[in-house]
Amino acid sequence: MKPVIDLNGLSVQFGAKTILKDVTAQLRGRAIGLLGPNGAGKTTLIHTLLGFHPPSSGTAHIFGQDITAAGANEISAFIGYMPERDSFISKMSCVRFVTLMAELSGLPSEAALERSHEALFYVGLGEARYRNLETYSLGMKQLAKLAQAIVHGPKLIILDEPTNGLDPPTRQRMIRLIRDIRDSGQAHILISSHLLRDVEECCEEILILKDGRLVTYCNLEEERKANRKFLEMETRGDSRAFAEAIGRMGCEYALTDERRFKLVLQQGVEIRDLYKLAAEQQVQIRRLNYKRDSLEDIFLKAMENNNGGL
């Protein structure tokens, strides 16, 4: 499958300061998470993909289109952008604002108005679409920004902190909408967020920046499966003999008392193998806690990498 976003040695410099440093990656996921601490270069990367900043070296391709060769109109036609900060026009109704954004993305006026109504009903603002945006709550404003990002039917939707400041029910609505867009297959999504939970719930791939460099790029589920698996187990029976049998399977273990022990499940050994071995040893597994690396674990490992390399 061709990459959605292809970053080729992308560097961006503002004056004497280099913000992005030789970033190279091929992103193919339906939903891609962009992570990193403040000042890592996330916003600069987004703005460069949108054509706001010219690369100082290297380039990027979006669906094969070189961002350094494409004009602003070409980019806006197939990309939807939900900014972190509000960018509304004073005294304008929501439906008029979303219609204007659709027109700026290249839709004819009549089609833009029709698509605006559809987008606002889709995000749950149909009943409030004629109200001025100044009267909206924070959650409604976030949904309005999502509506203007999807109104023209883009192939790539970039969401910058989409759940920022939302209360739990509105956040859940936003997450459901993002998943719905992802699962529809109509568009790919790039999510920049400081909330790891949001990225973990929505994304398949992650890109982690630190000090302008790429420190981690991975398929999230494959990364979890590749990491070693840690278990805590409580048994009834001859736990020591059972633990020694597990050790002969190549797994590291440590007994904490007569019935409890911890072990590292090596690659190629599955949970069902433990139950089969327990039956052979006439041991009953009473409790089993199973943990794989979370996105937080992956992120913290990336932050511990002080060399800025992969």
Q: How far apart are CA 307 and CA 310, in angstroms?
A: 9
User: What is 228-290's CATH number?
Assistant: 3.30.70
Tell me, what's the pLDDT at 127?
A: 96
Tell me, what's the pLDDT at 254?
A: 84
Tell me, what's the pLDDT at 150?
A: 97
Query: pLDDT tens string for the chain (310 positions)?
Result: 789 999 999 999 998 999 999 999 999 999 999 999 989 999 999 999 998 999 999 999 999 989 988 666 677 788 999 999 998 999 999 999 999 999 999 999 999 999 999 999 999 999 999 999 999 999 999 999 999 999 999 999 999 999 988 999 999 999 999 999 999 999 999 999 988 989 989 999 999 999 999 998 888 777 766 655 778 889 998 888 898 898 898 888 888 888 888 888 887 888 889 999 999 999 999 988 766 667 887 888 788 765 444 4
In the chain, residues under CATH classification 3.40.50.300 are 5-223
Tell me, what's the pLDDT at 309?
A: 42
User: What is 5-223's CATH number?
Assistant: 3.40.50.300
In the chain, residues under CATH classification 3.30.70 are 228-290
- Written as one letter, the residue type at 44 is T
Tell me, what's the pLDDT at 169?
A: 92
Tell me, what's the pLDDT at 227?
A: 59
Residues in the chain: 310
